Structure 1
């Protein structure tokens, strides 16, 4: 998904990426903050948040990150997915006549079906352990080409994939769902807890899907 675009330290002035545009919209909506963007390697981003050199960044949740990053929580102290800045889900796509069953936990096929998977997907090892023949590719596009050209029977895609060829379908049950959150440094949150909560609440008013659809 096009969260960010461009390279180097500068944010592109046009079509900088959906996540950037959402944060820019948030900046417009709030008169209490002025957001400046800093582009750095990811490890430095995390370290700068830990040290309080930056106030906020966009990140997935992990227990280890909670040691230095504040995530939006519900009154029950659970992650508040409604206040996430982005969400992505991955689904199986396959030939219409492929006897595939996926219940959200277990993949069943009545006959061997090779699966093309972009390199880096965490579920590759689990699929290999289940005995499936996995073809790892360097990109999502190449994984899809193996499927569409009849080399494999199954591949992966963002759910609600647009413009699938007529002989192919998507299983509607996600394999995995990921959420991106606007997280604040502990230093920033301790100084401005009400403002932090207000910004998270404002995110719920922004139609994030509309920004991603532009890309």
Structure 2
């Protein structure tokens, strides 16, 4: 009887350990990206991930990490996917985005859109117009570390000052350097709603620098070995994003453009 009980206990421990090992790991940024990611296990996109867990009867391990580390962990295969990654061609070397049957990026399966704008001081002459910066001689542009919009601006020849978080960017901006910063619109609104004086001193340009679809970016090797599973997760998240309940929740935070 004792041997039987010990045998059952060992099997139970093995089963629990196996279940933990098989749990998929997803990482997300450790700073606010309101309303999508607002804290530890908080935000609209994390709610969508939890809904997918329920619909798929599958549990994910969610890890909050600095964004560059998150992407590197996915690249190295230690974490299966990054939550909220924009499309960059260089990331397709090691990562997989959802695609159509013709191989094109499937934007219907995005998690959300991130709208990036230039924010400047009231007296600044710098403007973003027709995909370039006007009056930008010797200009340094502040961008959050790890964001693809920074790489896009670097490719256009602009000098970028990277800081870890949007609040850091605004703090530096208030002190006068850098002269202009790039923020995601909803995140900028969060900051200005906390500090209403900024609404008169931090001016947003009318034309967005970038509207970037954000995806659940999987490690390419993992995707190639588990295509059915990954495609099912993407499809489930796409269904959640389009659901009436999720759309109602999103509408509370985002003004229609």
Q: Match of 1:71?
A: 97
Q: Measure how far apart 1:107 and its partner are.
A: 0.9
> Aligned equivalents of 1:124 and 1:65: distance in 2?
17
Between Structure 1 and Structure 2, the one with more helix by share is: 2
1:198 aligns to 2:235 (yes or no): yes
Q: TM-score, normalised by structure 2?
A: 0.55
2-structure distance, mates of 1:95, 1:156: 12
RMSD: 4.1
Decide which of 142, 154, 172 is 1:117's aligned counterpart. 142
Mapped to 2, the partners of 1:92 and 1:167 lie a distance apart of 13
**Counterpart among 84, 89, 105 of residue 110 in structure 2:** 84
Residue 16 of structure 1: aligned partner: 41
**1:96: which partner in 2?**
122
Counterparts of 2:119 and 2:101, CA distance in 1:
37
Aligned length: 192
Runs (5+) with no aligned partner, structure 1 = 7-13, 129-133
Greater Rg, structure 1 or structure 2?
A: 2
Relative contact order, higher structure (CA 8 A, sep 6+) = 1
Query: Displacement of 1:171 after TM fit?
Result: 0.8
**Which residue of structure 2 aligns with residue 48 of structure 1?**
77
- Among 159, 170, 191, the residue aligned to 2:204: 170
Conservation of the 8 A alpha-carbon contact between 1:94 and 1:154: yes
In structure 2, runs of 5+ residues without a counterpart are 1-27, 32-38, 193-197
Matched, 1:107 2:166: no
When normalised by structure 1's length, the TM-score is 0.64
